[in-house]
């Protein structure tokens, strides 16, 4: 099993990247979001990978963090969600956005991903809503440093500059810490994850204390 690729980018496209690892070029399929975040050709990079094996096909799918890789694994466990569709969902929503959509039952957000219709979006939410909190709780615990990168080589090709990125959501570590704190306060996992997901949507980029305060306000009894 190939779990990680580290090397020099030879070519970068919207849906894949060609990485040279000591003279061997690996084509790694990535989401548009991941592709836009990678450095230009000629520079070093590292991606966590999942190897898809079929009778007539071997494909590598790449992810910038282990948490995103876990989300991909969870998505493809749903009937009708293939590896590319799962990648499209992650590319459209991002790992934090996906977790929030599942926690809140927001299947309409999943429809924004290419190849996802209303029935499939509803099926994903129904099957994964109870499994999503476990991945959300992993948070920053799996978002580890990719380790040392190889030295950059001569630039062979320069891709177009990436488009502007959306505002950064609350970090995976902040989400995980907030969930843990609410659990310690006695809240059930289902209500804690809904509150944290809603709070993260209202306050993008919030720190752990801010997320906890916002979630507690949402959980407070309404008069």
Which percentage of the chain shows pLDDT scores above 90?
46
Q: What is the mean pLDDT of the chain?
A: 82
Where in the chain are all domains bearing CATH 2.40.50.140? 4-63
What does the pLDDT read at residue 161?
A: 45
Average pLDDT over residues 5-21: 94
Q: By mean pLDDT, which of 32-46, 154-168, 198-212 is the weakest? A: 154-168
| 24-29 vs 57-63, strand pairing mode | parallel
Lowest mean pLDDT among 4-13, 116-125, 177-186: 177-186
CB under 8 Å to 22, separation ≥6 — which residues?
7
Q: Answer yes or no: is pLDDT of 157 > 50.
A: no
Beta carbons within 8 Å of 189's beta carbon, 6+ residues apart: 133, 179, 183
- Three-class SS state of 4: strand
Residue ranges with strand state E in 13-154: 16-21, 24-29, 44-54, 57-63
Higher pLDDT, 1 or 210: 210
152 compared with 4, residue with greater pLDDT? 4
DSSP code of 38?
S
Mean pLDDT over residues 165-176, rounded? Answer: 63
**Residues 43, 36: Cα–Cα separation, whole Å:** 14
Domain 170-219 classification at class level: mainly alpha
Cα separation, 146 vs 31, in Å, equals 18
Query: Where residue 167 falls among pLDDT bands split at 50, 70, 90?
Result: very low
Give Cβ neighbours of residue 221 (< 8 Å, ≥ 6 apart): none
Contact partners, residue 207, CB within 8 Å, separation at least 6: 174
Q: Which residues of the chain form CATH 1.10.150.20?
A: 66-138
Listed in order, the ranges of the chain carrying CATH 1.10.8 are 170-219
Q: What is the dihedral of CA 33, 191, 179, 103, to 10 degrees?
A: -10
- Higher per-residue confidence, 187 vs 122: 122
Give the residue-averaged pLDDT of 10-20: 94
| Mean local confidence (pLDDT), 191-210 | 83
Please report which confidence band the pLDDT of residue 147 belongs to, taking 50, 70 and 90 as the band edges.
Answer: low
Domain 4-63 in CATH 2.40.50.140? The answer is: yes
Say yes or no to pLDDT of 3 above 50: yes
Among candidate residues 131, 114, 107, the one with its CA nearest the CA of residue 190: 131
Q: Quote the CATH superfamily of domain 66-138.
A: 5' to 3' exonuclease, C-terminal subdomain (1.10.150.20)
Mind listing the pLDDT tens digit for each residue in 37-52? 999 999 999 999 999 8
Across 14-22, average pLDDT: 94
Report the alpha-carbon distance of residue 69 to residue 74 in Å, rounded: 9
**Per-residue confidence band for 187, with pLDDT thresholds at 50, 70 and 90:** confident
């Amino acid at each position: 099993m190939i779990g990680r690729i580290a090397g020099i980018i030879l070519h970068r496209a919207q849906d894949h990247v060609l990485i040279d690892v000591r003279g061997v070029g690996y084509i790694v399929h990535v989401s548009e979001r991941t592709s836009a975040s990678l450095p230009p050709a000629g520079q070093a990079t590292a991606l966590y990978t999942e190897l898809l094996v079929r009778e007539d096909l071997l494909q590598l799918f790449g992810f910038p963090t282990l948490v995103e890789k876990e989300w991909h694994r969870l998505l493809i466990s749903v009937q009708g969600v293939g590896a590319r569709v799962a990648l499209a969902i992650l590319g459209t929503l991002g790992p934090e956005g996906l977790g929030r959509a599942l926690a809140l039952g927001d299947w309409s957000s999943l429809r924004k991903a290419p190849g996802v219709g209303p029935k499939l979006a509803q099926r994903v939410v129904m099957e994964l809503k109870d499994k999503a909190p476990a991945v959300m709780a992993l948070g920053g615990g799996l978002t580890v440093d990719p380790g040392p990168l190889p030295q950059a080589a001569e630039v062979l090709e320069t891709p177009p500059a990436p488009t502007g990125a959306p505002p950064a959501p609350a970090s995976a570590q902040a989400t995980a810490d907030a969930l843990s704190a609410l659990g310690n306060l006695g809240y059930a996992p289902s209500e804690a994850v809904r509150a944290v997901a809603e709070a993260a949507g209202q306050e993008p980029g919030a720190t752990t204390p801010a997320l906890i305060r916002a979630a507690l306000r949402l959980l407070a009894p309404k008069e």
